[in-house]
């Protein structure tokens, strides 16, 4: 890893063994983009990459130089208005109303490691040797606005992290209308764009399309990163697939409104932008003030999409997620939501927990409904004290009973919300986001608290911290069940209302930071009506997130498969729930529900007392299995082998770091009759190791399993021989492969 600056050609080259990122100072003093991709050898001068030719109808920065136009020169921090007609990365409205800027290169510095971003989640290093960070300073001479671009290149990851800081060093106030975290001008558009999109209960489905002239974009204007689009995208070269070919992955470490777009111009060059959504964004920057954008992470892979995912997994698992739980296998939990909804008493909860304990569960989680006057979703949010009518001994008493059973205790909160029917709302009706004098839209009968105000965050912090100080709470599920409407804060003047969306999410991050700081051993799980805020920003505070309210095993195949494009398996909240399923009313076998949930944090979302004796035995076996293999499942290398978006079968697998253990998940949605013989070529094994297939007892070398494949054919349906259990719809199998001592020499 290194960052080289060639003085003569004014060229920066950031690289490690896998990736090169090259920029240069252009003749007009702006920062130009030269190359981003597979590591190439360094040289003194890359200026031949500046492809300039005379274009008819062009506009030129230099009157006489018909070759120099920002319309087609690739740039790092482009602004609109001086010959560049693409969407800009930065837009600043100045005192005189102009938005024209002339960002001149001033200086650079290189430091070891990576600085933190104040108030924002970001990747980090634990020692100076892990990364190098380049800080480039640009300045607009007229307004004296300073722009600092931060680029970090990591030693071990094929990734570059990037963010921007804008400092008003002039004497006059300005307004930031757009401040994108990331801009990359690519020389062509020969890519397929892949995004993760969906809706509530259908999050992060994989969607693809070819890049074409014009703008294609994903984003959110909901205040949360959203169920609809995830702040992640990838571009893959024609022919690239899961295991080969070039892929660029881009992830924004942010949980609020965002925009990610690709603009392909008439010369088929592509500009990628990512950052806070510029719509409704207007940040006043007074003299001396600064603004820090969120961080974006670019990953390059020449080993297809799976190679890209593995870089994200390793980087995000160990250098974005933090704290006590970062590297630890996750407790197997039982959550009471789908078991009872709002209909519970303390004794009922304890009876569920007792059965859970008997089965081997480690953590019992009390979900919504324990506080204020909450007997359904019309009341109580904001009043974070236990409801004595339900829990006579409070959370402290219940937690003691649960701990007395030998289980850890976890608790649900929805800190950002308030019901009109609550003491908090009655005391502070102005604490919700709303426009005075206008109707306030509801979502699930609740309103969004104005987290842009310090006193609101302080108040919620005190209520939550009191419970955590008094009761033995080991886990928090932090929910967020509606998006923002009427985004207006009574705490800010008129000319700062365009800051509310971003200040809101900064308030959320602040509360997370304070709580995780005071209670470092509490495991946080983020949630937003399932996966409505499942993003890299959240991962910095909560090492796991509830992936979706859809707990059906078949639906989960697509949700978890899509989620794995960017997010580590240890972060994917996944539970076994009841049959028929509460979202799609499908009856899937218990083993299939577990076989899907193993590839995540694993737990149960049902009352285990409602199961038959035979099913309880199965649950005990499932929990024992998960305890044995969760290190591999959650922290091993994850490989996608067959996509649920492309056929009836899904296959994925996890391999331990030492490659001696692998767990393969095979799933078939609909049963088939008289089907073809099937094999699945595995990945990530050691070709020379001999593995025992614990399902069949047979032995196979790694090279056989990876080239010839694992045989997955079965007696499908129809004339099943006596003694063989027939397959059904929603069939699945887990294959465990354990290396045996004897190896090929």
Residues that bind ligand DGJ in the complex, under the rule CB under 6 A = 337, 367-368, 412, 479, 481, 527, 529-530, 546, 549
Is there a contact between 12 and 136 (Cβ–Cβ < 8 Å)?
yes
184: nearest Cα among 80, 294, 27, 36: 36
Whole-number minimum distance, CB 382 to ligand DGJ, in Å? 14
Q: Catalytic: 367?
A: no
How far does Cα 409 stand from its chain's mean position?
26
Whole-number minimum distance, CB 354 to ligand DGJ, in Å? 22
503: nearest Cα among 227, 180, 282: 282
Q: Report the largest interatomic distance among the alpha carbons of the chain, rounded to a whole angstrom.
A: 88
Here the tokens at position 189 are 């558009």
Please give the torsion angle defined by the CA atoms of residues 489, 490, 491 and 497, in that order, rounded to the nearest 10 degrees: 40
Whole-number minimum distance, CB 635 to ligand DGJ, in Å? 25
Which residue is catalytic, options 368, 479, 552, 607? 479
Q: Catalytic: 479?
A: yes
Q: Which is nearer to ligand DGJ, 526 or 588 (CB)?
A: 526
Here the tokens at position 154 are 């990591």
DSSP letters, 417-440, are EEESBSHHHHH-GGGBS--TTSPP
Q: How far apart are CA 642 and CA 123, in angstroms?
A: 31
Whole-number minimum distance, CB 689 to ligand DGJ, in Å? 41
Is there a contact between 309 and 637 (Cβ–Cβ < 8 Å)?
no
Q: Which is nearer to ligand DGJ, 476 or 527 (CB)?
A: 527
Terminal Cα distance for the chain, rounded: 35
Whole-number minimum distance, CB 475 to ligand DGJ, in Å? 13
Q: Which is nearer to ligand DGJ, 263 or 368 (CB)?
A: 368
Q: Which is nearer to ligand DGJ, 367 or 450 (CB)?
A: 367
Q: Which is nearer to ligand DGJ, 82 or 385 (CB)?
A: 385
Across the chain, how many H-helices and E-strands are there?
A: 12, 39
| Total residues belonging to the chain | 745
What stretches of 636-665 show up as alpha helix (H) in DSSP? Answer: none
Can you tell me whether residue 567 is helix, strand or coil?
coil
Q: Which is nearer to ligand DGJ, 374 or 642 (CB)?
A: 374
Q: Which is nearer to ligand DGJ, 368 or 450 (CB)?
A: 368
Whole-number minimum distance, CB 582 to ligand DGJ, in Å? 11
Q: How far apart are CA 217 and CA 229, in angstroms?
A: 10
Can you tell me whether residue 108 is helix, strand or coil?
strand
Position of tokens 């602004």?
79
Q: How far is CA 70 from CA 13, 28, 54, 89, 164, in A?
A: 22, 10, 12, 13, 21
DSSP letters, 3-62, are EEEETTTTEEEEE-SSEEEEEEE-TTS-EEEEEEEE-----S--GGG------TT---SS
Whole-number minimum distance, CB 390 to ligand DGJ, in Å? 15
Whole-number minimum distance, CB 338 to ligand DGJ, in Å? 8
DSSP 386: B
Q: Which is nearer to ligand DGJ, 136 or 365 (CB)?
A: 365
Whole-number minimum distance, CB 546 to ligand DGJ, in Å? 5
Q: How far apart are CA 84 and CA 618, in angstroms?
A: 64
DSSP 128: G
Q: Which is nearer to ligand DGJ, 337 or 730 (CB)?
A: 337
Q: How far apart are CA 513 and CA 509, in angstroms?
A: 6
Whole-number minimum distance, CB 545 to ligand DGJ, in Å? 10
How far does Cα 440 stand from its chain's mean position?
30
Whether omega before 580 lies within 30 degrees of 0, making that bond cis, reads: yes
Whole-number minimum distance, CB 473 to ligand DGJ, in Å? 16
Here the tokens at position 632 are 């591999």
Is there a contact between 738 and 691 (Cβ–Cβ < 8 Å)?
yes
Q: Which is nearer to ligand DGJ, 412 or 512 (CB)?
A: 412
181: nearest Cα among 10, 344, 101, 297: 297
User: Which residue sits closest to ligand DGJ, CB atoms considered?
Assistant: 368
Whole-number minimum distance, CB 326 to ligand DGJ, in Å? 23
Q: How far apart are CA 741 and CA 744, in angstroms?
A: 10
Q: How far apart are CA 270 and CA 249, in angstroms?
A: 15
Q: How far apart are CA 637 and CA 549, in angstroms?
A: 26
Which residue is catalytic, options 140, 302, 383, 549? 549
The residues pairing with 11 across neighbouring beta strands, listed in sequence order, are: 6, 24
Whole-number minimum distance, CB 574 to ligand DGJ, in Å? 12
198: nearest Cα among 648, 520, 653, 563: 563
DSSP letters, 435-500, are -TTSPPPPBTTEEEB-TTSHHHHHHHHHHHHHHHHHS---EEEE-------S---TTS-GGGGGGH
Q: Which is nearer to ligand DGJ, 530 or 636 (CB)?
A: 530
Annotated catalytic sites, by residue? 479, 549
């Amino acid at each position: 890893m290194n960052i080289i600056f060639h003085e003569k050609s004014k060229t920066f080259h950031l690289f490690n063994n896998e990736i090169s990122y090259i920029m240069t100072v252009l003749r007009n003093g702006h920062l130009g983009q030269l190359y981003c991709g597979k590591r190439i050898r360094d040289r003194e001068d890359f200026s031949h990459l500046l492809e300039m030719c005379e274009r008819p109808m062009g506009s030129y920065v230099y009157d006489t130089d018909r070759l120099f136009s920002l319309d087609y020169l690739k740039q790092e921090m482009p602004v609109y208005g001086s010959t560049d007609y693409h969407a800009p990365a930065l837009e600043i409205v100045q005192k005189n109303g102009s938005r024209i800027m002339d960002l001149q290169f001033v200086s650079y510095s290189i430091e070891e490691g990576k600085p933190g971003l104040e108030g924002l989640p970001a990747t980090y290093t634990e020692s100076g040797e892990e990364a190098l960070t380049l800080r480039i300073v640009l300045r607009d001479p007229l307004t004296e606005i300073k722009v600092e671009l931060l680029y970090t290149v990591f030693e071990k990851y094929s990734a570059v992290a990037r963010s921007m800081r804008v400092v008003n060093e002039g004497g006059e106030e300005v307004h930031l209308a757009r401040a994108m975290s990331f801009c990359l001008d690519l020389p062509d558009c020969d890519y397929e764009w892949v995004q993760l999109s969906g809706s509530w209960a259908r999050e992060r489905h994989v969607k693809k399309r070819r890049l074409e002239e014009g703008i294609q974009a994903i984003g959110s204007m909901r205040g949360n990163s959203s169920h609809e689009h995830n702040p992640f995208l990838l571009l893959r070269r024609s022919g690239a697939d899961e295991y080969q070919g070039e892929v660029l992955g881009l992830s924004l470490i942010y949980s609020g409104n965002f925009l990610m777009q690709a603009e392909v111009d008439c010369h088929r060059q592509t500009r990628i932008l990512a950052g806070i959504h510029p719509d409704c964004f207007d940040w006043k920057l007074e003299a001396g003030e600064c603004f820090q954008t969120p961080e974006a992470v670019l990953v390059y892979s020449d080993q297809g999409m799976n190679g890209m995912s593995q870089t994200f997994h390793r980087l995000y698992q160990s250098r974005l997620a933090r704290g006590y739980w970062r590297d630890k296998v996750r407790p197997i939990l039982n959550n009471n939501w789908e078991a009872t909804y709002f209909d519970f008493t303390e004794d009922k909860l304890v009876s569920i927990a007792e059965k859970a304990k008997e089965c081997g569960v480690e953590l019992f989680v009390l979900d919504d409904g324990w506080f204020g006057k909450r007997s359904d979703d019309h009341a109580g949010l904001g009043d974070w004290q236990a409801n004595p009518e339900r829990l006579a001994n409070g959370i402290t008493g219940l937690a003691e009973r649960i701990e007395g059973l030998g289980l850890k205790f976890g608790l649900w909160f929805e800190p950002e919300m308030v019901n009109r029917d609550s003491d908090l709302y009655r005391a502070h009706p102005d604490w919700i986001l709303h426009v005075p004098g206008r109707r306030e839209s509801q979502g699930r009968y609740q309103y969004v608290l104005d987290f842009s105000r310090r006193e609101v965050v302080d108040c919620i912090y005190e209520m939550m911290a009191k419970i955590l100080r008094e009761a033995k709470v080991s886990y928090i599920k932090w929910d967020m069940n509606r998006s923002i409407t009427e985004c207006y804060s009574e705490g800010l003047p008129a000319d700062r209302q365009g800051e509310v969306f971003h200040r809101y999410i900064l308030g959320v991050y602040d509360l997370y930071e304070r709580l995780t700081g005071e209670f470092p051993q509490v495991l946080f799980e983020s949630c937003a009506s399932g996966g409505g805020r499942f993003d890299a920003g959240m991962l910095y505070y909560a090492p796991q997130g509830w992936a979706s309210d859809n707990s059906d095993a078949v639906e989960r195949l697509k949700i978890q498969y899509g989620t794995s494009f960017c997010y580590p398996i240890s972060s994917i909240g996944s539970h076994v729930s009841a049959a028929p399923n509460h979202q799609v009313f499908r009856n899937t076998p218990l083993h299939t529900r577990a076989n899907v949930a193993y590839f995540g944090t694993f737990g149960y979302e049902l009352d285990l007392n409602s199961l038959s004796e035979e099913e309880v035995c199965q649950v005990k076996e499932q929990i024992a299995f998960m305890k044995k293999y969760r290190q591999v499942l959650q922290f091993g290398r994850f490989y996608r082998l067959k996509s649920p978006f492309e056929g009836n079968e899904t296959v994925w697998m996890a391999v331990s770091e030492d490659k001696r253990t692998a767990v393969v998940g095979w799933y078939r949605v609909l049963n088939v009759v008289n089907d073809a013989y099937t094999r699945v070529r595995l990945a990530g094994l050691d070709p020379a190791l001999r593995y025992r297939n614990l399902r069949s007892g047979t032995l196979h070398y790694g090279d056989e399993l990876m080239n010839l494949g694992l045989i997955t054919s079965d007696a499908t349906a129809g004339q099943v021989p006596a003694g063989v259990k027939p397959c059904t719809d929603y069939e699945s199998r887990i294959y465990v492969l354990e290396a045996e001592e004897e190896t090929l020499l």
